[in-house]
Copies of this chain bind each other. A is one copy, B any other.
């Protein structure tokens, strides 16, 4: 799953590494060094550009510490669990479902009940991976993955570190719909830290306890048209549908977005749209398209809030690893928050013209209900109102019966004031559906680094190279003076590049070959060398990281040239032709 080469390079060159190393290991927490933080920020900015700016969506920031009520409503308090088994000998905790998958043919143990997993552990004589003690007979518990804390002193409130950024958007829906002027569809995004108290964090950035998620909640009318698919219609998707996973031996499909929708493979057009956008984005930030697929969740695998879900998976060191999830959450969350809170999580949709509707209503005779039902009378009124709305036929006989205050109350229909009235209605309350593209930024950073790592040979010497796309590389250019005489000009060029948003590193230490190697290893796409000819011809040499091709360019034009190369507006070949001919 993880490649030791990637992990070593990441640590040595300041990409990412286990945090707080000086105090021994607390698994699951990573720090991003100067290179990794820049790479991560570039990946996030590319996400923002693709999923927020170009889509005309909104972006917000909400707190990471969230009061208990929110997760009681969303269902995370009850169901955001993993299965835990503790070794009776060494006390180490393990994911029980993962042990079952390792020991048996079961592929999807997460979807089983805890007692079934407990039985499977016993049936397969599972041992503790740490100390080899037998785990048969040990209890499998549901362990909630949210970090808990107390808010405030004294009579404090329970809070949780958010396991996803999504709830911070969903819980603010009553306000966000106002900012969107009450018009569907609209999308609200958030990029930020999220937390999962994993039982067994491992594999570098792939299973961590603190992570960055980039999530978009696309709100749309349940009966709406869906997005215009034209801009992504021809984007090719490698799809692995649930049906194919269930049939032995069937593999991926290659379909365009349009085909996937037309053939019903991806049923929800918003999902299909964002799979297409995601496919473009993953490639742009450096995930190898040949090692990327979209796998549909099996029914037992779906999160509690999802009606349908596709995972983006990247091939990493022989395994398929989730690097994003695309869930159709329907109206699950908004309906829950509407029921649990004091606000309405709906949107009022005005009709083009007012409509006349027949509305069954009651107008109970309180002089009868009061004496008859005493303190329960008010509850009887509520029950009658609800019944009239849901089942007006119940009022067609002489008497009607409702449950109120835990009693069965029967009364004559004539005392209920039941009537069907005509009403003019100007619109209706709609609970939007939600489609959620959710990207695990840390895993993408790992995948991008892993897919970029190359070992090749230059002039008979081995070199390590990170073939990062220029848009996400932490440093855009290395700038080298060949001798001290060019130092000032080189520093000035590095400054100019950096101030134009193209971070450049000045380096005058060691041979040119060693300086190239240092930049190759951190993925710097271009190096610029100033040499003894520079004072005379006012030119510098730009070298391409991947081909090691070189071209001599007027110093004044270096920034524009590198900007154009980075933006993909030209190619190194084209630049070479332009200047070598000139």
- Interface residue ranges, A against B (CB under 8 Å): 11, 14, 17, 19-24, 26-34, 36-38, 40, 53-54, 58-67, 69-70, 73, 84, 86, 91-93, 143, 147-155, 157, 159, 161, 168, 171-172, 174-176, 179, 181, 188, 192-193, 195, 197, 199, 209-210, 337, 340-343, 345, 498-499, 503, 509
Selected contact of A67 from candidates B23, B70, B172, CB within 8 Å: B23
- A69 / chain B contacts, CB cutoff of 8 Å: 20, 23-24
Determine the residue in chain B with the shortest Cβ distance to A179: B14
Determine whether the beta carbon of A31 is less than 8 Å from that of B209: no
Cα A66 to Cα B22 with chains together (Å): 13
Q: List 9 A-B contacts (CB under 8 A).
A: A19-B171, A20-B171, A23-B342, A29-B66, A31-B61, A33-B60, A84-B154, A92-B154, A151-B197
User: Can you name the residue of chain B whose Cβ is closest to the Cβ of A172?
Assistant: B31
Q: Is the CB of B31 within 8 A of A59?
A: no
B65–A22 CB distance below 8 A = no
Q: How many copies make up the complex?
A: 2
Is B341 within 8 A of A64, CB to CB? no
Nearest-neighbor residue (CB-CB) of A145 within chain B: B153
In contact, B31 and A155 (Cβ under 8 angstroms) = no
B-chain residues with CB within 8 Å of residue A155 when the two chains form the complex: 91
Contacting residues, chain B, for A151 (C-beta < 8 A): 26, 28, 147, 197, 209
Complex contacts, A176 vs chain B, CB 8 Å: 33
Give A509 to B27 CA distance when docked, in angstroms: 54
In the complex, chain B residues whose CB is within 8 Å of the CB of A19: 62-63, 168, 171-172
A73 contact set on B, CB distance < 8 A:
23
| Distance in Å: Cβ of A273 to nearest Cβ of chain B | 18
- Across the interface, which residues of B come within 8 angstroms of A188, CB to CB? 34
Given contacts A38-B59, A60-B33, A91-B155, contact A22 B337 (CB under 8 A): yes
Do A153 and B93 have beta carbons less than 8 Å apart? Answer: yes
Known contacts: A195-B65, A498-B53. The answer to whether A153 contacts B143 by CB under 8 A is yes
Contact A93 B154 (CB under 8 A): yes
The answer on a CB contact under 8 Å between A147 and B148 is no
Known: A34-B60, A149-B161. 11 other contacts (CB 8 A): A19-B171, A21-B172, A22-B342, A26-B67, A33-B175, A34-B59, A36-B61, A37-B61, A65-B195, A152-B197, A181-B509
Q: Give, as a whole number of angstroms, the nearest-CB distance from A148 to chain B.
A: 6
Q: A29-B63, A179-B34 are in contact. Are A53 and B503 (CB under 8 A)?
A: yes
Q: Are A63 and B30 in contact (CB under 8 A)?
A: yes
**CB atoms of B64 and A64 under 8 A apart:** yes
Shortest Cβ gap from A52 to chain B (Å): 10
Residues of B with C-beta under 8 A to A38: 59
**Contacts A31-B60, A60-B31, A210-B63 given; does A84 touch B20 at CB 8 Å:** no
User: For the complex, what is the distance from the CA of A256 to the CA of B30, rounded to whole Å?
Assistant: 42
Point out the residues of chain B lying under 8 angstroms from A152, CB to CB.
27-28, 93, 197, 199
A133 to B196, CA, bound (A): 43
Q: Complex: how many Å from CA A193 to CA B168?
A: 15
A269→B21 CA distance, assembly (Å) = 33
Which residues of B have CB within 8 Å of A36?
A: 60-61
Q: Are B59 and A37 in touch, CB under 8 angstroms?
A: yes
Q: Which 10 A-B pairs have the closest CB atoms?
A: A22-B341, A34-B58, A22-B343, A29-B63, A32-B61, A23-B69, A31-B62, A14-B179, A93-B154, A26-B67
Distance in angstroms between the alpha carbons of A159 and B149 in the assembled complex: 10
Residues of B contacting A26 in the complex (Cβ-Cβ under 8 angstroms)? 67, 151, 157, 159
Within the complex, the shortest CB–CB distance from A436 to chain B, in Å, comes to: 18
Q: How far is the CB of A102 from chain B (nearest CB, A)?
A: 19
